Structure 1
Amino acid sequence: MVDPQEIFATSFLGPWVPQAKDGPRRRHVYLSLAHWYEAAKFMPHAPAHRDAVAFCPTVAEARKYARLREPEWRSDWQMTRHSVLIAGLAMLTLQRPELELQKVPLDGLKGALSGHLKKVPERFVDACLGRFDQWRTAPRIAVFGAEAAPNDVVGTRMAKLVAPMPSWTLITTSHRRTPWTLHDWALSHYVPVQYVGQADARASRPLARQVVEAADHVIVFEQRRDKRFDHVIQHGKELKRKLTLELYDAAGGAGSPGQLTLA
Structure 2
Amino acid sequence: MSSASVVLKTDCDVVRFSIDKPLDRNAPLAKGEKKSKRVRMSKRAKRNELRFYRLMAKKKMNSPNPEVRIRYKLQKAKRKEAWLIEKLRKFDVPKASVNVYDPEILTEEEKHYLKRTGEKKKMYVPVGRRGVFGGVVLNMHLHWKKHETIKVVCKPCKPGQIHDYAEELAQLSRGIVIDIKPNNTIIFYRGKNYVQPEVMSPPETLSKAKALEKYKYGQSLEHTSQFIEKLEKELEEYREYVARYKERKEDASRSTAVDT
Range of TM-score over shorter length: under 0.3
Q: Which has the higher contact order (CA 8 A, sep 6+)?
A: 2
TM norm structure 2? 0.20
TM norm structure 1? 0.20
Q: Based on CA coordinates, which of the two structures has the bigger radius of gyration?
A: 2
